[in-house]
Amino acid sequence: MIDLIAKKYLFFIFSGLIIIPGTIALILWGLKPAVDFTGGSLIEFQIKNASKEVLKEDIKKIAEEQNVEVGSISKTSNNGFLLRLKPIDKNQNQNLNNDLKKHYGEIEEIRFETVGPTVGQETTKNAIKSVIIASIVIILYIAWAFRQIPKPYSSVKFGIVAVIALIHDILVVVGLFSIFGHFFKVEVDSLFITALLTIMGFSVHDTIVVFDRIRENLKKIPGVPFPQVVNESILQTLARSLSTSLTVLFTLSALLLFGGETIRWFIITLLIGIISGTYSSIFNAAPLLVIWETKERKNK
C-alpha cells in the first residue's frame, strides 16, 4: 500500500512553494482592488461605426478635457472600451458621452457604474467579517458533528485542522491573485469575495468527507496506529475526491470557455480554489491531524 503519510513533508513543501511567494506578493503589492472597494467610476461603451482606428490616447484626451481623471482605459472588444475613472456623477457622465459622440459618431454605453468610497470600505469590512465568522462556525460545527469519535481523539482538533486547510486554500487564491494583480492587472471585486467564500464551503466539504472516513475507521478497527488509519482513509476516499473535483472542474471549464467575459476571473478564482481545496483536504489536513496527534502522545 502507498504510504502517503510518510511523504507528508513533501506535500507541505509543495503547498509552501505556492503560498510563500503568494504571501510575499501580498505583503509587497497587496491586491488590486476594483471600484467596488476603492470607489470610482467605470464606463464601458462601444463605438458603432468607427471610420478609423480609435486610439486609447485620444479617448483619454477627450475625458481629460472634461476634467475627468482617468485611471485606465482598456479595449474590451472591437471598438469597445472600458474606462476606469475617479468617481464622476451623472452629469459628468452625460457630458463625456456627448463629447465622445461628437468625435466618434453613434456610441452605445454598455454600462456605467459609480461607487462612493464609503460603500467600498463597508464591502471590505463585511468580507473580512464573514470569513472570520464562517471559520468559527465551521470549527464549532465540526467539533459538534464529530463529537462521537472514540477517545482519546478530540473533535475540536478535527475542526481546527479543517479550518487550517481552509486558510491554506484562501492563502493560495489570495496570494496568486496578488501576483496576477501585479503582473496582469487583475482586479478583485465583490465577485472575488463571493468566489472566496464558495471555496471555503467547498474546502470544508472535501475535508469533512476525508474526516468522516477517519471517524468511521477509528470505530471499526480499534488498536490500529493513528497514522495508518488516516492513510487508509485517504486512500479509500481518493477515488471519490478526484471524481467530484473532476465534475466540478468540468462545469467550471465549460463556464470558462463559453461563459463570457464578465465572469472570467470569477471562474478562474473558483477553479484555483477548488483544485487547492481538494489538494489540501487530502495532502494537508489529514497529515496535519497525524502530526498533532502523535506529538501529543509523545509528550505524555
| Choice from 86, 94, 219, 224 touching another protein (CB under 8 A) | 94
Cell of 36: 467596488
Asked if 122 interacts with another protein (CB under 8 A), we say yes
Only segment of 51-59, 99-107, 169-177, 236-244 that touches another protein (CB under 8 A):
236-244
Residue with smaller CB distance to another protein, 38 or 179: 38
Residue with smaller CB distance to another protein, 23 or 92: 92
Contact flags string 194-223 toward another protein, x per CB under 8 A:
x--xx-xxx-xxx-xx--xx--x-------
Only segment of 11-19, 64-72, 105-113, 176-184 that touches another protein (CB under 8 A):
105-113
- We find the least distance from the C-beta atom of residue 48 to another protein, in angstroms, to be 12
- We find the least distance from the C-beta atom of residue 11 to another protein, in angstroms, to be 22
Asked if 129 interacts with another protein (CB under 8 A), we say yes
Asked if 109 interacts with another protein (CB under 8 A), we say yes
- We find the least distance from the C-beta atom of residue 136 to another protein, in angstroms, to be 10
158-197 residues in contact with another protein (CB under 8 A) are 190-191, 193-194, 197
Residue with smaller CB distance to another protein, 70 or 191: 191
Asked if 150 interacts with another protein (CB under 8 A), we say no
Half-sphere exposure of 47 (CA within 13 A, CB side): 22
Asked if 145 interacts with another protein (CB under 8 A), we say yes
Which amino acid is residue 109, in one-letter code? E
Asked if 92 interacts with another protein (CB under 8 A), we say no
- We find the least distance from the C-beta atom of residue 253 to another protein, in angstroms, to be 8
239-298 residues in contact with another protein (CB under 8 A) are 239-240, 243-244, 246-252, 254-255, 257-260, 262-263, 266-267, 270
CB 293 within 8 A of CB 245: no
- Most distant CA pair in the chain: distance in Å? 83
- Nearest by Cα to 43 from 106, 114, 117: 114
Secondary structure in 3-state letters for the chain: CCCCHHHHHHHHHHHHHHHHHHHHHHHHCCCCECHHHHCEEEEEEEECCCCCCCCHHHHHHHHHHCCCCEEEEEEEECCEEEEEECCCCHHHHHHHHHHHHHHHCCEEEEEEEEECHHHHHHHHHHHHHHHHHHHHHHHHHHHHHCCCCCCCCCHHHHHHHHHHHHHHHHHHHHHHHHHHHHHHCCCECHHHHHHHHHHHHHHHHHHHHHHHHHHHHHHHCCCCCHHHHHHHHHHHHHHHHHHHHHHHHHHHHHHHHHCCCCCHHHHHHHHHHHHHHHHHHHHHHHHHHHHHHHHHHHHC
Size of the residue set binding another protein (CB under 8 A):
69
Q: Which residues bind another protein (CB under 8 A)?
A: 44, 89-90, 94, 108-116, 118-119, 122-123, 126-127, 129-130, 133-134, 137-138, 141-142, 145, 190-191, 193-194, 197-198, 200-202, 204-206, 208-209, 212-213, 216, 236-237, 239-240, 243-244, 246-252, 254-255, 257-260, 262-263, 266-267, 270
